[in-house]
Chains A and B, each alone.
Chain A
């Protein structure tokens, strides 16, 4: 906290001092930027699913066996599972022949085809999953494997972005994932799965 801090603050104050009037903070409603077409009272999982598909996300719902069979169909045989989810998913995964680890070994990053972690919340309006440090058992497991599955409950779905912002959890690391990791850097062509998952699953556990 040397002199640069003071200098910058002084320069800022000096720069603004001559202003006769400062622009006021405008008055607006939190929901100004909510898309008017959104039915906030509707079935939020249905809206979420529809919107998630538009951004190439993969919404799935059902019992743990549904997820396990889906993984098997994708030829995913090895992955990571949040230890807190193991009691619910362990049996189904084993039955489908999916081997899971509950600690993510970064030295073997390429060995994991999928990672299953818990979502903190979701946003119906944009098909977005909300992850936090508190709910995600391993940041890397939710990011490095080709397929990431975020397990969600119905009551965790926010209607829109404005509500999700108003309810930002007090967690140092809140991540909104809207569809898979993507790039259009090469000639504007959309490619999915750059650094993060190429397949982003939102799994509603019922």
Chain B
């Protein structure tokens, strides 16, 4: 039987990678649990509340988008809109070109991965340097991030040390302290030489037009302290109604992502630097990116747009832990990715329709989600859709259900099979097909219990005689 693509990937994953991913997710999971439970007596109530705020926000985007735009314009921010990745990249490129800018330093943003910004700019002769340590390592290795918060969760220090040596960042040394110090030294001069700083946004307040950025390393702060132009790429679903919502959301985000009470740097940016400030951008641009989001908004899976990219669902997912993020073949891995990636794929949905099956439906992702997204429900809806559109990717490794379908559709046949099914216990295992043999090698055949329901139902009817008319 042909296996699902994700299973094939997992089977080929070297043991040390699997161990790295497992260790990284486990520690993330533990840290989250500790942080939430030591801080709050009823963290679940907070998750539900945050979910309701975000659900309200996305269901009223038609009000909030024009509102936030007006606020930003009043704050002196230049606002741009991009229907898709190409248009978003085009905006960035044009802004840089108009200013004769050649060098960009970028903080970690998932949207920039989604639209392949670095690639776009490099092809046009511009430098686009990742500054988050993990993303920087991904960039020099021509690799892809495999986790939303910990992009190099799949790498160990020896691989990183070898990459640094190859790139001329000093002789081989795999001490994480040395690796970090070298990156610090190298990157600070890059910031200072750059023309443009690019960031994403974790939240955008419709009330004040503030964009909120969180980083632990301080790289987004440096990117917009050293450069003259700040560009923020913002998915349209990042909007929250009011500033006051941020207190709750920031508390939940940091705890869910890394087990901190607050991320080391939380920045509230509403425009270019003030007149008295010697450092930082003279202009700020915000690019609102659709790239499939309005399609998701029209879909009954729209609650996935609440996601605040904390990675808690990745860390807790038994499938993610065994397969790693690359197995999901898209920018967003794990349970959130299994929902979001097929939806964002648009016409290519059938090619990604196997992802919703990469789940045991255990429900853990829903339980940890800081905005309480019912991921298992959404996965089920997408599984159904995969079937409806006849996706080949989704059908792979699905046991043939034809025989079952015939039986289930015919009460008489069903009765016969249920009555005689007990005979299967007599079926000699050496005659079984290969898949059956694999099954019984470590397990016994279950005891046949078919055919009892009809008898029970009849009996029940007899006992509870319907009232005479």
Query: Chain A interface (Cβ within 8 Å of chain B)?
Result: 1-2, 4-5, 7-9, 11-16, 18-19, 22-26, 28, 30, 32-33, 35-37, 55, 103-104, 106, 109-110, 125-126, 128, 133-134, 136-140, 143-144, 161-162, 164-166, 168, 171-189, 191, 193-197
Q: List 12 A-B contacts (CB under 8 A).
A: A8-B65, A9-B62, A9-B65, A26-B49, A33-B247, A55-B260, A133-B280, A172-B271, A172-B273, A188-B150, A194-B219, A195-B191
Considering only residues 118-161 of chain B, those with a C-beta below 8 Å from chain A are: 131-134, 137, 150-152, 156-157, 160
The answer to whether B247 touches A134 (Cβ under 8 A) is no
The answer to whether A185 touches B59 (Cβ under 8 A) is no
- Chain A residue at minimum C-beta to C-beta distance from B284: A172
The answer to whether B269 touches A172 (Cβ under 8 A) is yes
Bound complex: CA of A24 vs CA of B142, how far in Å? Answer: 45
The answer to whether B59 touches A196 (Cβ under 8 A) is no
Add 14 more A-B contacts to A9-B65, A178-B263 (CB < 8 A): A8-B288, A11-B294, A12-B61, A16-B297, A19-B59, A24-B56, A25-B56, A28-B248, A35-B39, A133-B280, A162-B244, A168-B208, A175-B267, A186-B160
The answer to whether A188 touches B27 (Cβ under 8 A) is yes
Across the interface, A4 reaches (CB within 8 A) one of B24, B52, B87, namely: B87
Q: How large is the interface on B (under 10, 10 to 19, 20 to 34, 35 or more residues)?
A: 35 or more
The yes or no answer to B453 lying at the interface (CB within 8 A) is no
The answer to whether A187 touches B248 (Cβ under 8 A) is no
Considering only residues 174-199 of chain B, those with a C-beta below 8 Å from chain A are: 176-177, 179-181, 183-184, 187-189, 191-192
Over the window 279-305 of chain B, the binary record of Cβ atoms lying under 8 Å from chain A Cβ atoms (1 yes, 0 no) is 110000000101000110110001000
- Chain A residue at minimum C-beta to C-beta distance from B152: A185
The answer to whether B53 touches A195 (Cβ under 8 A) is no
Q: Which 4 A-B pairs have the closest CB atoms?
A: A196-B218, A15-B298, A11-B294, A139-B225
Across the interface, B221 reaches (CB within 8 A) one of A19, A126, A196, namely: A196
Across the interface, B24 reaches (CB within 8 A) one of A136, A144, A182, A188, namely: A188
What does DSSP make chain A's interface, helix, strand, loop or mixed?
loop
Bound complex: CA of A4 vs CA of B81, how far in Å? Answer: 6
Across the interface, A172 reaches (CB within 8 A) one of B192, B225, B270, namely: B270
The answer to whether B279 touches A193 (Cβ under 8 A) is no
Given contact pairs A7-B83, A136-B277, A194 touches B184 in the complex (Cβ within 8 A): yes
Bound complex: CA of A23 vs CA of B87, how far in Å? Answer: 31
The answer to whether A183 touches B294 (Cβ under 8 A) is no
Contacts of B269 in A (CB 8 A): 172-174
Contacts of A14 in B (CB 8 A): 294, 298
Across the interface, A134 reaches (CB within 8 A) one of B225, B276, B294, namely: B276
Considering only residues 84-111 of chain B, those with a C-beta below 8 Å from chain A are: 87
Contacts of A22 in B (CB 8 A): 56, 59-60
Contacts of A143 in B (CB 8 A): 218, 221-222, 225
Chain B nearest CB, measured from A144 CB (Å)? 6
The answer to whether A184 touches B258 (Cβ under 8 A) is yes
Contacts of B380 in A (CB 8 A): none
Chain B nearest CB, measured from A153 CB (Å)? 20
The answer to whether A165 touches B247 (Cβ under 8 A) is yes
Across the interface, B20 reaches (CB within 8 A) one of A18, A179, A182, A187, namely: A187
Considering only residues 236-270 of chain B, those with a C-beta below 8 Å from chain A are: 236, 241, 243-244, 246-248, 250-252, 258, 260-270
Contacts of A133 in B (CB 8 A): 273-274, 276-277, 280
Across the interface, B297 reaches (CB within 8 A) one of A15, A33, A185, namely: A15
Contacts of B353 in A (CB 8 A): none
The yes or no answer to B41 lying at the interface (CB within 8 A) is yes
The yes or no answer to B374 lying at the interface (CB within 8 A) is no
Chain B nearest CB, measured from A176 CB (Å)? 4
The yes or no answer to B371 lying at the interface (CB within 8 A) is no
- Chain A residue at minimum C-beta to C-beta distance from B158: A187
The answer to whether A171 touches B274 (Cβ under 8 A) is yes
Contacts of A178 in B (CB 8 A): 260-266
Chain B nearest CB, measured from A21 CB (Å)? 9
Given contact pairs A19-B59, A175-B265, A183 touches B217 in the complex (Cβ within 8 A): yes
- Most chain A CB atoms below 10 A, which of B180, B208, B280: B180
The yes or no answer to B278 lying at the interface (CB within 8 A) is yes
Across the interface, A185 reaches (CB within 8 A) one of B23, B134, B265, namely: B134
The yes or no answer to B361 lying at the interface (CB within 8 A) is no
Across the interface, B280 reaches (CB within 8 A) one of A1, A104, A109, A173, namely: A173
The answer to whether A106 touches B251 (Cβ under 8 A) is no
Across the interface, A177 reaches (CB within 8 A) one of B87, B265, B270, B288, namely: B265
The answer to whether A161 touches B250 (Cβ under 8 A) is yes
Given contact pairs A9-B66, A140-B226, A172 touches B272 in the complex (Cβ within 8 A): yes
The answer to whether A194 touches B183 (Cβ under 8 A) is yes
Bound complex: CA of A168 vs CA of B251, how far in Å? Answer: 16
Given contact pairs A126-B261, A143-B225, A195-B217, A176 touches B40 in the complex (Cβ within 8 A): no
